[in-house]
Chains A and B, each alone.
Chain A
């Protein structure tokens, strides 16, 4: 029932946006929403389900994007390269989760931040492979003469990937590993000592799933944007993803979709708002940051449980 309503609402929003902004623009934005939602879903598994603080999810997305870009440039067919990008994300996630063997909470969060900084620095400095800050251009997603260049095709691919990811995460969360994650989230010591849950394995699994989804999102993102550079995946992107998960309500998987919708559409609203603002002030470059920060602060203050928290637990 809930799922059906979600699909109906999503379709209505998409149709409304197509009427308002034109079909291609709306589909392009919807593609971005779906791609962000996949990355957000990965983070929601780690933060919302397993309860770990992650401050560097952007780095995992970057790994997926770079692997996909490098493979696509060399003509590797997408169904192989995307799987490899997901595996790279998964592996990077597992690396990032290594300190979680012995650390919890904030210390671990800081280690993910350090991990992200190292990845960003490597991407910037390894110029022979990544061309550093100059960035890489990514060919269109395509195989055997077919290329996903129209907004509709890109949207359909993203949406299909999102639905698959949602279904997979739902199944995982409903199963044994999902119960283990929630136990770790509520109380690490009690979960490990009283219930016989393997903490290391549970955290590793959460990061593997989160990293694979980040890799998938990164691979798709690289194709849709067509150009990647290290700073696209910096700290700001990591916080955007955190924000996305928080807005949607960290404990609800479907919140990731809602959060992605807000995060992607926010800049558009801010652009609209800037035109309304009086005088020169509205045109200066800093206003976007001010308004974006304001929205973050207001959402956190007014809806600390996230927007999706009103309904039943997902």
Chain B
């Protein structure tokens, strides 16, 4: 069944007029105006708008993928709770900002910090036991922890009933015919800033060097005097804080709500496309997927957009099993 479906999809991907000829598009069918819209070449300005929103959402994918890869490299644990951490971080910011009337920047920073502490605490209490065990142990542990976080947020009535919007500036920036959403530009700028900070941390600080050493070869790092156990704690703290940061960035794009963590499911393809071992690779793959998805939403009939990241992942795994960066080990 899926095979037949893929074949249909591929047929539709190539020449656009074919859609009009068959007159039947996507699962539910599509109006002729949409097809005609897809036929005409997109005007430059709307293409740039699509690209900017794609890059913005891709930054969030990339950051979540980054947090995932950071944890995976340092501790060999596969974390299935990054989405829940993201959601929890956004709700923490909402609680601090609306509940305690803190200024937004302070609430956001505190929420990221709190989630970092939570990550460190969970590592000490629970996740430490997964080291050296098969992947499945970490997968199930983090899934269980994620369920608990989700359940905890659900049982707060104010959280499960309403959607919140963090009061980030949201205006539309008009440059000539071009209308760009300011929140998208904010997300992109914040991601660039964070990437610079992270690079500085990994290149310039002692802890960053130790963390890198630990990710390369934990045993050798231990022999060189790196406190490996503390580095694992640091990795989880950083991973949780990064996920929370991604939550802050997602908050102005979508609302803050219970299911916003589902975005992490698109971060997995990004992490794998990036080769699972490269932090810049994960970020870039995330942006690539965001753009691909936005373009697919723009050019292809409705319904294809959500499949694009997974279809690209399957294709990439089939064609380039060594990862896009080409250096990853094939079998882990």
Contact = CB atoms under 8 A, between A and B. Distances in A.
A289 B144 CA distance: 9
Contacts of A66: 1
B317 A285 contact: no
Interface in A283-298: 284-297
A196 B144 CA distance: 40
Contact of A293 (B139, B144, B160): B144
Contacts of B272: 107, 110-111
A71 to B, nearest CB: 13
A162 interface: no
Interface stretch (B33-41, B95-103, B146-154, B193-201): B146-154
Contact of B148 (A47, A107, A294, A301): A294
Contact of B151 (A47, A92, A124, A289): A289
Contact of A121 (B155, B157, B303): B303
Contacts of B26: 125
Contacts of A63: 1-2
Nearest to B323: A107
B133 interface: yes
Nearest to B129: A301
A246 B136 contact: yes
A286 B265 contact: no
Contacts of A128: 27-28
B307 A118 contact: yes
A55 interface: yes
A168 interface: no
A286 B145 contact: no
A22 interface: no
Contacts of A115: 2, 310, 314
Interface size class of B (residues with CB under 8 A): 35 or more
Grouping DSSP codes into helix (H, G, I), strand (E, B) and loop, the B interface class, with mixed when no group exceeds half, is helix
Interface in B110-160: 126, 129, 133, 135-137, 139-141, 143-157, 160
A46 to B, nearest CB: 12
A144 B276 CA distance: 55
Contacts of A53: 135-136, 139
Nearest to A113: B268
A250 interface: yes
A297 B144 contact: yes
Grouping DSSP codes into helix (H, G, I), strand (E, B) and loop, the A interface class, with mixed when no group exceeds half, is helix
28 contacts: A53-B136, A55-B139, A92-B2, A102-B330, A103-B317, A105-B135, A107-B272, A107-B332, A109-B135, A110-B313, A114-B269, A114-B314, A122-B27, A126-B5, A128-B28, A132-B27, A243-B140, A246-B140, A281-B155, A285-B154, A286-B150, A286-B152, A286-B153, A286-B160, A287-B151, A290-B155, A296-B143, A297-B144
A256 interface: no
A110 B268 contact: yes
Given A95-B2, A110-B272, A125-B26, A293 B136 contact: no
Interface string B289-332: 00000000000000100110111011001100100000000111
B107 interface: no
A250 B155 contact: no
B133 to A, nearest CB: 7
Contacts of A186: none
B44 interface: no
B27 A289 contact: no
Nearest to A108: B317
B237 interface: no
A119 B311 CA distance: 11
A117 B262 CA distance: 12
B312 to A, nearest CB: 9
Nearest to A109: B135
A98 interface: yes
Contacts of B140: 239, 242-243, 246, 296, 300
Nearest to A247: B140
Nearest to B272: A110
Interface in A78-125: 88, 92, 95, 98-99, 102-111, 113-115, 117-119, 121-122, 124-125
B3 A250 contact: no
A304 interface: yes
Contact of A106 (B269, B276, B311): B276
Contact of B3 (A95, A113, A132): A95
B154 A289 contact: yes
Given A107-B276, A114-B310, A293 B330 contact: no
Nearest to A114: B310
A292 B152 CA distance: 12
Contacts of B2: 63, 92, 95, 115, 118-119, 122
A115 B157 CA distance: 35
A126 B70 CA distance: 38
Given A88-B1, A301-B126, A293 B146 contact: yes
Contacts of B263: none
Given A114-B314, A118-B310, 17 more contacts: A95-B2, A107-B330, A108-B317, A111-B272, A115-B314, A117-B307, A121-B306, A188-B331, A235-B265, A242-B136, A285-B160, A289-B148, A289-B151, A291-B151, A293-B143, A296-B141, A297-B148
A290 B317 contact: no
A122 B2 CA distance: 7
Contacts of A24: none
A288 B271 CA distance: 31
